[in-house]
Amino acid sequence: MTVVVWDCETETRLPRGDAAERELAMQRSQVTVLCCLVFDSDDALVPGNWEQARRTALSYTFWRDVDPHGKGPFEGALALFDEADAIVAYNGFGFDLRVMSKYYGLSKDARHRRLQHRLKLLDPMVRIAQALDVRFPGLDDLLKHNGLGGKTSNGLEAIKMWEEGRREELEEYCAADVEGLAELVFLPRLKVWGCGTLPNEVHGVAAFLRARRALAPLPPRRDDWTLVETGAEEWVEVGAVGAVGAVPRAG
């Protein structure tokens, strides 16, 4: 299993203030580039294991105008999300997955796929804000406060990069954000303003993975019984998994 840390950039500036206008703008705005780092889950299970995990991580870049397989420009990224144990995006709930929603499609299967990705999303911005009871902290401030450099540019400049065809610069900026975020979620403890530090259980990918695995459903055993829907608005109890000759009966 894997962990995917990712970020994307868009072509338009989102309006501030009115929530409905901002939501409409996100629905219309096209993603220009998506970058991600893919880690082995076993490496990510160890807080502070950044250097080892980074050595074996794989990097990917997906462009809006590059669709080699004819399945959509970001299908490759969505396939990485499908296979992942967890995906990580800063403000992923409020921005990245929202602007990406248009690339999933409208079918029932597409909606289910997007839901599954949301369920395994770690959004450090939301978790840190909830823990400290503050407004959403900026990634740049967190990176600087923890000695991880900081962002190399900003979203408004990224729009200009796309408009002016500065693709290499745009990719470097997006990939740098992913790199900084990945290193942040590997930290055993996160330095925050005026409050000392937060444990990995708040912001970190290791704790997130352990929690997901602990809550995962157990595989069925031969002596388990289960309930199945008959299609006639009633349920019946069926025999043990794998049992020979088990006869369903009314439940």
* 211 and 234 part of one domain: no
* 157 and 231 part of one domain: no
Mean pLDDT of the chain: 85
The structural domain count of the chain equals 2
How far apart, in whole angstroms, are the C-alpha atoms of residue 146 and residue 148? 6
* 249 and 190 part of one domain: no
Phi, psi of 203 (to 5 degrees): -110, -15
* 241 and 147 part of one domain: no
Task: Determine the structural domain holding residue 244 and report its residue range.
Answer: 219-251
pLDDT tens-digit map of 75-112: 999 999 999 999 999 999 988 999 999 999 889 999 99
* 223 and 140 part of one domain: no
* 114 and 13 part of one domain: yes
* 157 and 234 part of one domain: no
Q: Give the pLDDT band of residue 237 (cuts 50, 70, 90).
A: very low
Q: Are strands 196-199 and 189-192 parallel, antiparallel or unpaired?
A: antiparallel
Q: Give the pLDDT band of residue 228 (cuts 50, 70, 90).
A: low
In order of 17, 43, 152, the CA distances from 50 in angstroms are 38, 8, 21
How far apart, in whole angstroms, are the C-alpha atoms of residue 53 and residue 46? 9
* 6 and 130 part of one domain: yes
Phi, psi of 118 (to 5 degrees): -65, -40
Phi, psi of 137 (to 5 degrees): -75, 145
Instruction: Using a pLDDT cut of 90, give the percent of the chain over it.
Output: 57
Helix axes 167-186, 205-215, angle to 10 degrees: 70
Phi, psi of 81 (to 5 degrees): -65, -40
pLDDT tens-digit map of 27-72: 778 999 999 999 999 999 999 999 999 999 999 999 999 998 889 9
pLDDT tens-digit map of 175-206: 999 999 999 999 999 998 777 898 989 999 99
Query: Per-residue DSSP letters for 138-152?
Result: PHHHHHHHTTS---S
Residue 60 β-bridge partners: 36
How far apart, in whole angstroms, are the C-alpha atoms of residue 58 and residue 36? 8
Q: What is the mean pLDDT of residues 208-221?
A: 80
* 236 and 168 part of one domain: no
In terms of pLDDT, which residue wins out, 154 or 63?
Answer: 63
* Rounded-to-10 torsion of CA 110, 111, 116, 122: 110
* Domain harbouring 181, CATH code: 3.30.420.10
